[in-house]
Amino acid sequence: MAKSKSTSLWRPGNALMALGILLLKLSARMPMPLLQFIGKALGTFVYIVFPYRKRVALINLGLCFPELSDKERRQLTYRHYQSMGMGIFEMAAAWYKPDEEILKWGQFKGIEHVEAVEESGRGILLLTAHFTTLEFYGRLFLLNRRFSCMYREPNQAILAKEMTRIRLDRMGRVIHMDEVNELIRALRSREIVWYAPDQGKKIKYSAVLPFFGVPAVTNTATGRLTRMGKAAVLPFFGYRKPDGTYHAEVFPELKDFPSDDPEADAIRINQVVEEMIRTAPDQYFWLHKRFKRRGEGYPDVYKKDSGPGTLDPGPKRDSQSSSPVSSVQSPESGNDK
């Protein structure tokens, strides 16, 4: 279980966060176009004035999209900061706007794939990834089905308290990332569990495997969890369209999953996430150091003497050993890629 943290408002950080949450609640009363405009302006401001982790984003994009020019990667990074800014207000909308407002701005597809697994009497591991729009497209799913979620508690106590309150109000179980047994129980109880394994962390079940063809620490537990929970894996993804509306879609169950090879399963999951990212590359969370702590034999690509133009990702491993999943195709987006 996560350790409890003080939520006393006498602590300056807590008081500021409480004020921030109040402002988010107030902002949720604004129309979505205005929220998106403010968020985009905020992202632009941060990119220009306080470009937090801009170098990390450029390195990640250089590794994942080597076919892009430096100018194209910088343009994509700029749009990513705008998406990050909009993501703050999309989260506010997802947390505090009424159902009818969410439905007005979002389109949801693929409920038939959920129903097919439910009819088979199994639980669902809802496979997604860390996109700036995830709170909004998660709310779209909740308007169709209740689900439980895996989560990592934020370090900020007031934010963690509010996030947990909202999740408990709308969802089934709120399962901390360390509570694997609780996850298995939920799946065996035929529940739907939101699951995003795309941010690499060195744990017992992890390996250095290709992500966009570049070695990265990768979670290899997905297949084991699916087998132990007697569940199906359904990819789920959402993004903001050029017209400001949102598209969320559940895709068909991953067939022949899991296999007898946890690493092959993990590569397949990485490939599914890659397909999601290519649909809306500006909306993926590029500020995360996806290629860190890979171990001996792999260079530290985030060292100060590295740069997007002179990256050595280390020894590569073929990521095309199997097709990711023929059922996951990019929904029509019209996004600028």
pLDDT of residue 27: 95
Whether the Cβ atoms of residue 84 and residue 133 lie closer than 8 Å to each other: no
pLDDT of residue 315: 55
* Token pair for 225: 């969890």
* Sign for the pseudo-dihedral over CA of 217, 288, 273, 102: positive
Q: In terms of Cα–Cα distance, which of 110, 177, 114, 156 is closest to 15?
A: 156
Q: What is the mean pLDDT of the chain?
A: 88
pLDDT value at 35 more than 50: yes
pLDDT of residue 182: 93
- How far apart are alpha carbons 15 and 160 in whole angstroms? 14
Report residue 306's pLDDT band, with 50, 70 and 90 as the boundaries.
Answer: low
- Residue 264, classified by CB atoms within 10 Å of its CB into exposed (0-12), middle (13-18) or buried (19+), is middle
Q: Which residue has the tokens 């150091």?
A: 289
Give SS3 for 249: strand
What pTM, to 2 d.p., does this model score? 0.86
pLDDT value at 334 more than 90: no
Report residue 336's pLDDT band, with 50, 70 and 90 as the boundaries.
Answer: very low
Single-letter amino acid code for the residue at 247: H
Q: Which residue has the tokens 């689900």?
A: 147
Q: What is the pLDDT of residues 246-273, one digit of tens each?
A: 999 999 999 999 999 999 999 999 999 9
- Residue 148, classified by CB atoms within 10 Å of its CB into exposed (0-12), middle (13-18) or buried (19+), is buried
Strand ranges for 200-290 from DSSP E: 206-211, 214-219, 231-240, 246-250
DSSP H or E stretch at residue 218: strand 214-219
Whether the upstream peptide bond of residue 258 has omega within 30° of 0, thus cis, is yes
Report residue 314's pLDDT band, with 50, 70 and 90 as the boundaries.
Answer: low
Report residue 174's pLDDT band, with 50, 70 and 90 as the boundaries.
Answer: confident
pLDDT value at 335 more than 60: no
- How far apart are alpha carbons 197 and 241 in whole angstroms? 24
DSSP H or E stretch at residue 253: none
pLDDT value at 322 more than 80: no
- Would you list the DSSP string of 23-84? HHHHHTTS-HHHHHHHHHHHHHHHHHH--TTHHHHHHHHHHH-TTS-HHHHHHHHHHHHHHH
Longest dimension (CA), the chain: 56
Cα-based distances in Å from 248 to 106, 141, 254, 292, 337: 7, 8, 18, 30, 19
Q: What percent of the chain has pLDDT over 70?
A: 88
Single-letter amino acid code for the residue at 166: I
pLDDT of residue 251: 97
Instruction: Read off the pLDDT of each residue in 86-100 and give the average, rounded to a whole number.
Output: 96
pLDDT of residue 312: 53
